[in-house]
Structures are given as C-alpha cells and as structure tokens.
Amino acid sequence: MTQSLVLNATFEPLCVVSTRRALLLVLEGKAEMMSATGRVFRAARITVDEPSVVRLVYFVRVPFQARVALNRRAVFARDGHRCQYCGASAENIDHVVPRSRGGSHSWDNVVAACRPCNTAKRDRMLEESGMKLRRPPVVPRERTWILVASGAIRPDWEPYLPSVAAGLTA
Ligand SMILES: [Zn+2]
C-alpha cells in the first residue's frame, strides 16, 4: 500500500497515512498537496494526482513523546539496526544502565546491540564493562517514527525532515 507523509500547518512532519487517506484530506480541503507520487488516482468523475506529501490547512497540536513509542522496532530504526557498541548487526535491546542496577526503560537508556556485546556487558555498568557507546542514546526525532510507520522514507519526503539535514542519519 502506498503511503503519504502528512505535515502540520507549520510544515512539521505529523504522521504517515495511506495515500487514499491523504487524497481524501486534499479533496475535503483539509490539506494541500506538497508533492505528488507521479501516479494519478482515477474515480468515476475525477482524475487527480496521487499525493506523496500533504500539508494540513489547520494547525494540529500533538505532543512529541506520544508519537515515538519506545519499542524494539523503534529502537532498531533509531539506531540503524546497528549495535551501538561495535557496529555489528543488532539483534537485542540493551539497557545501558542495567534494569537490575536501577536503569530505566527510557529512550536515553536503551540501545540496539548485537548478541555478543549484549552478552559481554551482562548486568554491568558501562565503566565496569570497559565498553564504549558510539553515540549517546537520545529521544528520537521524526525520522524514526516515520521509518517505523512507513518502512521507508521516500526521497521527496526528505526536504521535510530537518533531522536528516542535521546529520542524524550517521
Ligand atoms: Zn556489538
């Protein structure tokens, strides 16, 4: 199923919806087309460009935290499916400060890890294990939830994702 990126009236990425839904938003006058997929949608009396990116006419207030649920899929998307200790392909989620040592299950304490690193670290603190994080874990920005929601980021969505330009993709 084709999906479309929905921007808030402020141009901030808001959500990913089916292209059909995005088209309805445009036809109902609730959103304007920013970028088209290049295909057209044909119904009984109309032929319209299929939207790839639409922008809402009215501002919608959404708390950022609500959009990025902390789960395995989202952590892997944020960390590029790479172990944050050695760079190998990640299979596990590691708590930097172990749960048994009071570490929280929060964005700034979970990283993707390969099985050998996850096993090697056990329930030790970072300093005790002698292991190093490639970068500190942070609350993800929009690229992560868009990846989780859509599976892929279309090239014409990139201009609307500021964190891409800011180099978060490393
Ligand atoms: Zn590793």
pLDDT at 72: 92
pLDDT at 116: 97
CA of 12 to the centre of ligand 1 (A): 34
CA of 118 to the centre of ligand 1 (A): 7
Where the chain has pLDDT below 50, the residues are 164-170
> What's the token pair of residue 106?
């929060």
Q: In whole angstroms, give the CA distance from residue 128 to residue 109.
A: 16
Widest CA span in the chain: 69
Contact 66, 45 (CB under 8 A): no
CA of 135 to the centre of ligand 1 (A): 13
Q: Strand pairing partners for 55? A: 7, 32
pLDDT at 119: 96
Give 117-128 pLDDT, tens digit per residue. Answer: 999 999 999 999
pLDDT at 152: 85
CA of 158 to the centre of ligand 1 (A): 30
pLDDT at 166: 43
Q: In whole angstroms, give the CA distance from residue 29 to residue 45.
A: 18
Coil vs helix vs strand at 144: helix
CA of 124 to the centre of ligand 1 (A): 15
CA of 148 to the centre of ligand 1 (A): 23
pLDDT at 169: 41
Q: In whole angstroms, give the CA distance from residue 131 to residue 86.
A: 9
